[in-house]
């Protein structure tokens, strides 16, 4: 019989000797709480970005996104443009009254700003000499008529020739013509108002001696006040006589007054290629005066135009272009521009309706770059008339 093996209880000295070894092993291991935290952290790093579940090592990697841009879809729309042009108020109906006979002014009672009625006597020039000549001519005419009657009686008795009779008749006709001429000259010594209006100039005084063609007065019709502006040759084809317009008079506080185009002059200035356009008030303001500075607002007829945001327009050494999207990639498209309308620009050539162009996200953009739309651009007003391509690049 083999001897039985009995476990021997450790001696007190053995237990005390083993205790330092256990402590050393524990110091080399992680505590349970710390180990759990490490496991949770590793599990979180393996989760998918979108669903929050742990990755099993077989899930596909997140696809790389393209160059982010905002876009605008081109289309043609009827657009009526507004144009402001500086101008001046002017009186269309204005008459300069001149002396038609020489003499001393006996009457001139009106002054600048006075209202006058049609036919009112404004100037009277001394007519003593003309009346004396008139009396002489009348006496001469009476004598010539008597001579004619005498020659007629003689010719009836064959005592006078037909030549003598013809000369007598001619003398009467000449005297009658002289009489009519003096009547006209007498009428010219009285100058009346050709229409109802106001006196704008008074250039002589009673007692002055004036000669023929001396400028005495100027009379204007206040109802003929119009705004006169100059319009470039590019805008002329888009406006027409009778179209509505508005007039702003700076001296009256900038209020807008309704009007319409009265006349477009047929010739242009060779220096600035502009034509004169007259605009008539629907109601003339009471404080409006000829010579005041005005701003005329003209509206063009609605025309179908292809407009894009101005910030989409780019420029390089070869000219202007825009970025278009084709098959998900960015491509340059050369364009020819037209009118600048607020924060938009008209495209005359290079684009067609239905194309999608890039309006933001130009930094780092190159030919063939894959792009991804983050939002469609509704065309908010960001560009200003002073905006440049370089400034637009720095916009958010």
CB neighbours (10 Å) of residue 136?
A: 12
The band of 20, judged by pLDDT with boundaries at 50, 70 and 90, is: very low
Q: What is the 3-state secondary structure (H, E, C) of the chain?
A: CCCCCCCCCCCHHHHHHHHHHHHHHHHCCCCHHHHHHHHHHHHHHCECCCCCCECCCCCCCCCCCCEEEEEEECCEEEECCEEEEEEEEEECCEEEEECCCCEEEEEECCCCCCEECCCCEEEEECCHHHHHHHHHHHHHHHHHHHHHHHHHHHHHCCCCCHHHHHHHHHHHHHHHHHHHHHHHHHHHCEEECCCCEEEEEECCCCCCEECCCCEEEEEECHHHEEEEEEEECCCHHHCCCCCEEEEEEHHHCCCEEEEEEEEEEEEECCCCCEEEEEEEECCCCCCCCCCCEEEEEEECCCEEEEEEEHHHCEEECCEEEEEEEECCEEEEEECEEEEEECCEEEEEECCCCCCEEEEECCCCCCCCCEEEEEEECCCCCCCCCCCCHHHHHCCC
Return mean pLDDT, the chain. 82
Look up residue 126 and give its two tokens.
């001394």
Give percent above pLDDT 90 in the chain: 62
Residue-wise pLDDT tens digits, 314-339: 999 989 999 999 999 999 999 999 88
Taken in order of first residue, the domains within the chain and their CATH numbers are: 71-78+304-393 (2.40.420.20), 127-188 (1.10.287), 224-302 (2.40.30.170)
More confident residue, 33 or 297: 297
| pLDDT for the residue 377 | 61
| pLDDT for the residue 64 | 55
Residue-wise pLDDT tens digits, 30-70: 455 554 444 444 444 444 444 444 444 444 555 556 899 99
Give buried/exposed letters for 199-224 (b at 16+ CB in 10 A, else e).
bbebebeeeeebeeebebbbbbbbeb
Question: Is residue 279 scored above 90 in pLDDT?
Answer: yes
Residue-wise pLDDT tens digits, 105-122: 999 999 999 999 999 999
Residue-wise pLDDT tens digits, 185-194: 999 999 999 9
| pLDDT for the residue 284 | 94
CA-wise closest residue to 306 among 265, 276, 347: 347
| pLDDT for the residue 212 | 93
C-alpha–C-alpha distance, residues 38 and 52, integer Å: 18
Please, are residues 70 and 392 in contact by the beta-carbon 8 Å criterion?
no
User: How many Å separate Cα 381 from the centre of its chain?
Assistant: 19
| pLDDT for the residue 223 | 93
Question: Is residue 17 scored above 70 in pLDDT?
Answer: no
Whether pTM > 0.75 for this model: the answer is no
Question: Is residue 383 scored above 70 in pLDDT?
Answer: no
């Amino acid at each position: 019989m083999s001897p039985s093996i009995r476990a021997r209880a450790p001696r007190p000295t053995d237990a005390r000797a083993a205790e330092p070894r256990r402590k050393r092993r524990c110091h080399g291991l992680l505590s349970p709480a710390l180990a759990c935290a490490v496991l949770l952290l590793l599990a979180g790093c393996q989760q998918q970005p979108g669903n929050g579940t742990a990755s099993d090592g077989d899930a596909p990697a997140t696809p790389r996104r393209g160059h982010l841009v905002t876009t605008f879809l081109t289309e043609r729309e009827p657009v009526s443009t507004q144009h402001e042009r500086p101008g001046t108020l002017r009186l269309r109906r204005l008459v300069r009254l001149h002396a038609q006979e020489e003499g001393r002014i006996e009457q001139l009672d009106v002054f600048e700003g006075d209202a006058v009625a049609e036919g009112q006597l404004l100037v009277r020039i001394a007519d003593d000499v003309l009346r004396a000549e008139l009396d002489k001519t009348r006496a001469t005419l009476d004598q010539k008529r008597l001579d004619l009657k005498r020659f007629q009686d003689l010719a009836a008795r064959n005592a006078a020739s037909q030549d003598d009779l013809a000369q007598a008749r001619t003398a009467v006709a000449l005297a009658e013509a002289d009489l009519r001429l003096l009547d006209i000259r007498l009428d010219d010594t009285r100058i009346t108002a050709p229409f109802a209006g106001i006196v704008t100039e008074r250039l002589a005084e009673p007692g002055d001696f004036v000669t023929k063609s001396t400028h005495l007065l100027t009379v204007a019709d206040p109802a003929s006040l119009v705004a006169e502006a100059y319009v470039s040759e590019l805008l002329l084809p888009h406006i027409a006589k009778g179209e509505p317009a508005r007039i702003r008079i700076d001296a009256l506080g900038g209020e807008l007054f309704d009007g319409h185009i009265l006349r477009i002059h047929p010739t242009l200035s060779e220096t600035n290629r502009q034509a004169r356009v007259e605009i008539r008030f629907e109601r003339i303001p009471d404080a409006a005066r000829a010579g005041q500075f005005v701003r005329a607002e003209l509206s063009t007829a609605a025309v179908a135009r292809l407009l894009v945001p101005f910030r989409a327009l780019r420029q390089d050494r070869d000219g202007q272009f825009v970025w278009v999207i084709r098959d998900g990639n960015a491509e340059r498209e050369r364009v020819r521009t037209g009118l600048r309308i607020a924060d938009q620009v008209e495209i005359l050539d290079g684009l067609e309706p239905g194309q999608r162009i890039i309006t933001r996200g130009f930094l780092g953009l190159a030919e063939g770059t894959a792009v991804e739309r983050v939002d469609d651009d509704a065309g908010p007003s960001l560009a200003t008339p002073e905006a440049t391509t370089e400034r637009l690049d720095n916009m958010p």
